[in-house]
Structure 1
Amino acid sequence: MSTKRAFNLSIPSHRSLRGAAALALAVSSCISTVQSSAHAASGSWTGAALNSDWTNPLNWDTIPGANNGTFVSTDIATFGDSTNGNAVTVDLNRNVLGMTFNTTATTVGGFAIGTLAVNGGNTLYLSNGGTINVLATNATNTSISIHAPIVMADTTYTLLNNSTTPTSGLKLNSGFTGGASGATTVTLDGTNSSAATTSNSQILGPITNGASSSLSVVKNGTGVWELRPTFDANTYSGDTIINGGLLRLMSTVGSMSPNSNYIINGGTLRPNFNGVTGKSIKVNSGGTLQASADAVINSLNATSGPSLWFNFTGTTGPITMGAFVNFVGTTAGQGGFKLSNQDATGKVSYSKGMDLGTVQRPFDIAQSATNLGADDNDLQVNGAVNGAGGGITKIGPGTLKLNNAANGFTGALEVQQGTVRFNSPDALTAKPAVIISGGNLDVSSLTQTIGALQINSGTISASSGGGGTVATPSISMNVPAGALAQASAVLADSTGSATLTKTGAGTATLTAVNTYTGGTNVNAGTLRIATTGTVANGNLTVNGTGLVHVNAGRPDPLKVAALSVTAGGTVDLNDNDLIVTAGTSNAVRTLIANARNGGAWNLPGLTSSNARNASPKNRGLGVLTGTEYIAVNGTTFGGVAVNNSDVLVKFTWNGDTDFNGVVDFDDYSRTDGGFNNNRTGWLNGDFDYNGIVDFDDYSLIDQAFNTQSGTLRRAMSYLDGSDRSDKGMDAPSLQFVQEHLQQFGEQYAAGFLASVPEPTSALAISGLAGLAASRRRRQRKTQAGR
């Protein structure tokens, strides 16, 4: 048996040992030279001596372990139904493989291993692969308390509490430290349950790496363990893996290591107090993250990948879980939230809120076919999302819904992929900037007041019946070449008059009846106005290569205040009408005349792609002042009230002088009046905007009239010379053709035929065109009765 040492070598306390584990191991060989006992054998505690020393042979049947400070012992120290002293003083550098506690008698109390103090006196060294095993502590409210600081060998160790008494447990009051150089994995296991708020298996001291090693914690079994340091903080850097049962985080001084990634494969991770910190949390299918009351995870600081990851690829049905989380770290794009799922995964509700910190955080949300089919959300955050400077960058095809009525983050909301929704109006209380760069912002039927709005690609939609509104101080649609952007919600002013500015070579589309009042500037690319869309009745300015294209089939005229189209810019009305409330008819006519280009409709200005693509080219854009229109039609134009000062543009038949949609004898009467009295303007028959009424205008009106009358082919055969007989020429429309050919000659015929490209008349057209070029553009002939 052992004898007393020749001398006593002082070893640092557990706290200093954490910073000097290498020193402890370096001197272990020196210590072993002065040991009076070497490796012993496994032994059971009797506690029969008058003192509690581990080294006293009267306290054991065989003294287990070695006292050389190494990790070589394979001995097990067993503590059973000893009725003697149950306090054990650990000697210097004691090393065992494991300890087993198996008190079956109800009269036996617990055991205290080491000194009851911070860091608990001398350190206990535990060999690789060992276990501290609580098999039974039948006495009520009895615990096994290990006060001694613990250093574990590299590789693996297990703390196992299978006590058959739920109120009895295992407590490590000084925590533990990993080995000197290799990775250490400590498994917390067992079936011991706990009271509602306090576990009986607790780590009450800090858990730290070794001098040059990492340490990981694994929670197995159905029991409950607590990380509850009462001094210092957990700083280990290996993963914390929860495979079953419950792991509680119960201390504000650092129960959650800021250097560890927490992975929940099964069971539950539950932060119970404010102040716990970590690197990241990943919840796999079968795992649960659940806060007690309003506990806050103060810090998740992942430097790569998400800070919070719900990996539910093996989960079905709706899921609700969460804890208040603060994302930290000052590098934009780091941390954030990720949801992985499968097609059968139902809606995931994050039950608490989060703080984004000071930078943009990615929210990578996958899409479930189940949720897509039900028009439901893939991730719904029920708590408020805040952050002074922090913002959300939404990626992934799934739908993110901010369900809280007051989300106060001040950084940008950028929707790159998928969809973002809200549950309440004005749910972004700090009014952050919103950027749509490929995804969809769905405001439903709600009004959301935001900061500056930038749409690079993607959509703003208004599902659930429409009527949704985005109120903003400015609207930028900078759409690159090949990209598409669309705003289907109403765009409105928030503070002051919002201006919409379109740049970039791509195409943006407005589909709602917008109300912003700052006007619309199109500097590049295309701005499409859908059949239900508007540019909010404000000023419309088109610069450079900008194009405003109005989709075909509007039920009412497009309405603008002032219309400005600079060189190179184009407004294409297609087959629609226009009301200009703050412009002049001369300016509008000039824009149309430039675009018309002799009927080709292929130059910048105010144009009609429908007229350009038509065959025959018998339609165009007419211009009337409000006064002219009201005099012949009344005060509504396309269902919209008009004033005398308005300028009206109508896509109609060439020759429809009064905008009634047909060419009739009233139109001929006005055209004759314009011709005979040297008048100008659409109302008087100047359909080609050349400043006079001449044979070209009669060609245009006659062609349109014959098209309406179904006599166009006979008129063409008469004019191209293939049949100049009077046969079949008795219709009024054809009689006008005969009359005007006699009046203006072959130049009239050439103008008529030029806009009706027929293969059978191509030669005749070319000949007549040459004839027309040799004559004056205008011949006057006064006709009585016309």
Structure 2
Amino acid sequence: MARKDQLQVGSLLRHSVATLLATTALGVVAAHAVDGTWTGSTSSEWTDGTNWTSTPAVPDGTATFTNSGPATVDSNGFVNVGAVVFTAAPNAQAYTFNVNDIFVINGAGISNNSTNVQTFVAGSSMVFLNSSSASGGSNVVTYSVSGGAMSFNDTSTAGSANITNGAIGGGDIEFNGSSNAGTATILNNAVINFNDTSSANGSVITNSATGFLTFNISSTAGAATISNSGALVFSGSASAGSSTITTENGGTTSFTGSATAAGARFITNAGGVFDISGLSSTGTTAGSIEGAGNYVLGAKTLTTGSLDTSTQVDGVISGAGGGLTKVGTGTLTLTGTNSYTGATTISAGTLALSGSGSISSSSVVTVNATFDIPA
């Protein structure tokens, strides 16, 4: 089985497991929540009630951290809590949490109001439910997913979190339901799946050469800024939204099923590939395309220019039977030797050939606006 297929099968399994964890966790929300403040009187263990002011109970309502107790906190048993708060006064010290068992957040989420960065190292699963946030408050919360997972469900959000996925030993992040990535900054070295109707929202995502990032079902990239050096896949009825996607050298951004590039801006740099040949539909729209990378159409039609900007493609647009339609008021300039053989339609604005730029002689050109070719 090819690596891409293996990753996609694995993604489906992880989505199922994440959903099961979330469903199970719903059944353990306490009827009468207990609040407590961390003292670390006995040890560094979260699940030891003697380390909390709520002793002998471990808080399952709001867990508060100030400037007392060990700065390294270990979670070696199941945790179910509504909110985690780092105080502004007193200014909470910088904590590091080693999550070694399932950690469920089901209320307001994790809020950092201190001047220090708070860090969670996820060696197991962190599950966000309801409308919880992974990073609220005036300062960020940092996550290092190292062999574990993060699962966002319901309407939960990554907030303003700074997340490194697959820091050590792999990692998996799942956005399910109507969850979103907020304005998080995410470095992906492993697997991230946006499922259901989830959204990347206004996040900044860097998908490394080892990263596998997918938008599945009816999810959307929203207004995210994505830099892709690995594999970025839109499948099902997923949408690229109004995002900006830069595909770097060695990276591939592909669309399958009835997914759409929508109104997104695509910058495909040299060595990068934008590929719509796997679509089951006749083609897709894109807000704009540019760069020295290659655009693979297959037999599909790419309609681009709705952002009304002027861009230049220095790479090659290819595809047996594939077509290009220019819309919008801007100018699309082609400087490469383009080999797609389907129709070229200029519906609005300008399509320009510059330098040695050309299109296949077998492409039928329909001009309803401006076609600028060298004299």
Calculate the TM-score normalised by the size of structure 1.
Answer: 0.38
Are 1:188 and 2:137 counterparts? no
* Cα distance between partner residues in 2 of 1:333 and 1:25: 38
Where does residue 309 of structure 1 map in the other structure? 263
Work out which of the residue numbers 165, 176, 182 in structure 2 matches 1:219.
Answer: 182
Q: 1:125 to 1:385 in 2, by over 3 A?
A: same
Q: CA deviation at 1:58?
A: 1.6
List alignment gaps of at least 5 residues for structure 2. 1-11
Q: CA deviation at 1:307?
A: 0.9
Are 1:392 and 2:371 counterparts? no
Where does residue 708 of structure 1 map in the other structure? none
Are 1:160 and 2:129 counterparts? no
Contact 1:248 1:271 in 2 (8 A): yes
* Cα distance between partner residues in 2 of 1:383 and 1:84: 56
Q: CA deviation at 1:355?
A: 1.3
Q: CA deviation at 1:97?
A: 1.2
Where does residue 177 of structure 1 map in the other structure? 151
Matching residue's letter, 2:229: F
Where does residue 436 of structure 1 map in the other structure? 365
Where does residue 408 of structure 1 map in the other structure? 338
Are 1:422 and 2:371 counterparts? no
Work out which of the residue numbers 20, 39, 46 in structure 2 matches 1:46.
Answer: 39
Q: CA deviation at 1:137?
A: 4.8
Pairing of 1:327-346 with structure 2 (within 5 A):
327-328=275-276, 329-331=278-280, 333-338=282-287
Pairing of 1:67-78 with structure 2 (within 5 A):
75-78=61-64
Contact 2:313 2:336 in 1 (8 A): no
* Cα distance between partner residues in 1 of 2:24 and 2:132: 24
Contact 2:71 2:95 in 1 (8 A): no
Identify the structure with the greater strand proportion.
Answer: 2
Q: 1:406 to 1:389 in 2, by over 3 A?
A: same
The range that moved more, 391-400 or 101-110, is 101-110
Work out which of the residue numbers 267, 270, 281 in structure 2 matches 1:322.
Answer: 267
Are 1:96 and 2:96 counterparts? no
Pairing of 1:30-179 with structure 2 (within 5 A):
39-50=32-43, 52-62=44-54, 63-66=57-60, 75-84=61-70, 86-92=72-78, 94-102=79-87, 108-115=93-100, 122-127=101-106, 129-138=107-116, 143-147=118-122, 148-154=124-130, 156-160=131-135, 169-173=141-145, 174-179=148-153
Structure 2 SS opposite 1:151: strand
Contact 1:64 1:96 in 2 (8 A): no
Matching residue's letter, 2:80: N
Identify the structure with the greater helix proportion.
Answer: 1
Contact 1:352 1:382 in 2 (8 A): yes
Q: CA deviation at 1:238?
A: 2.6
* Cα distance between partner residues in 2 of 1:356 and 1:136: 49
Matching residue's letter, 2:158: L
Number of equivalences = 346
Calculate the TM-score normalised by the size of structure 2.
Answer: 0.74
- CA deviations on 1:706-739 (whole Å, 9 max, x unpaired) are xxxxxxxxxxxxxxxxxxxxxxxxxxxxxxxxxx
* Cα distance between partner residues in 1 of 2:220 and 2:321: 22
List alignment gaps of at least 5 residues for structure 1. 1-14, 67-74, 116-121, 193-199, 312-320, 340-348, 369-377, 447-467, 469-786
Contact 1:391 1:409 in 2 (8 A): no
Q: 1:79 to 1:113 in 2, by over 3 A?
A: farther
RMSD: 4.0
Q: CA deviation at 1:178?
A: 4.3
Q: CA deviation at 1:136?
A: 2.0
Structure 2 SS opposite 1:19: helix
Q: CA deviation at 1:358?
A: 1.2
* Cα distance between partner residues in 2 of 1:367 and 1:23: 41
**Higher radius of gyration, 1 or 2:** 1
Matching residue's letter, 1:157: S
- CA deviations on 1:605-650 (whole Å, 9 max, x unpaired) are xxxxxxxxxxxxxxxxxxxxxxxxxxxxxxxxxxxxxxxxxxxxxx
Where does residue 239 of structure 2 map in the other structure? 280
Q: CA deviation at 1:61?
A: 0.7
Where does residue 199 of structure 2 map in the other structure? 240
Contact 1:234 1:254 in 2 (8 A): no
Contact 1:353 1:381 in 2 (8 A): no
